[in-house]
Amino acid sequence: MKNTSDIAFTPAVKELQEKFGSRKTYEHMELSGGWQHEINSNLFHILKNMDSFYFGTSNSNNQPYIQHRGGPKGFLKVLDNKRLAFADFSGNKQYISIGNLSENNKAYIFLMDYANLTRIKIWGTAEIEEGDTELINSLFDEGYNAKPERAIIFTVEAWDVNCRQHIQRRFTLEQIEEVTKPLYDTIKALKKEINNLKIN
């Protein structure tokens, strides 16, 4: 029976795992159920709080390309238990990702949650949708100053949460302000109280 992780663990990879002593560990992982192949509640919760990801494609010459995608939290939408989607805007008009997808539909999503020391790898295929205006508009977050040209629909084949070792914790300005605002409010209130005591 084919394992979900076989999408990445090719015969060449398994041969190297055997050579360097990690194959038994991964065989145990495979026997225990292996990687996920559907979008569950854990992944859904992570995605709704993400404001960026890296999108990997490859052209017909097997030349890989990685593009950073960013937007409001949750802009990478869950359509169902197998499909993700996001709106594609004009950007710099290089069209490398969609050009690659026109030749090779294999794609990859890499998510980094620095605050929670989590990285997620998602393998699958992607297709371009330009005619379904209802779908495209549903992926568009109001208030974003750009017009979507198309939707990119990603079908999940396998995903895994990677080791958190060596991830350095980083926070967005919004996350920092959420933590520090009560402190600044307290300082402001104390200063006001001190000034009142001085006056009295």
What pLDDT shows up at residue 199? Answer: 75
Q: What is the largest CA-CA distance in the chain?
A: 81
Residue 113's SS3 state is strand
d(CA 45, CA 55): 19
What pLDDT shows up at residue 198? Answer: 77
What pLDDT shows up at residue 33? Answer: 83
Radius of gyration of the chain (CA): 22
Domain boundaries, the chain: 1-34, 36-167, 170-200
Query: Is pTM, for the whole model, over 0.75?
Result: yes
| CATH number listed for the domain at residues 36-167 | 2.30.110.10
CB 30 within 8 A of CB 3: yes
Q: Where would I find the beta strands (DSSP E) of 41-171? A: 52-58, 64-70, 77-78, 83-89, 106-113, 118-129, 148-162
From first to last of its 200 residues, the chain has per-residue pLDDT tens of 589 999 999 999 999 999 999 999 999 999 888 899 999 999 999 999 999 999 999 999 999 999 999 988 999 999 999 999 999 987 778 899 999 999 999 999 999 988 888 999 999 999 999 998 899 888 887 777 778 889 999 999 999 998 787 888 888 888 888 889 988 888 888 888 888 887 76
The alpha carbon dihedral of 83, 86, 87, 88 has a sign of: negative
What pLDDT shows up at residue 200? Answer: 65
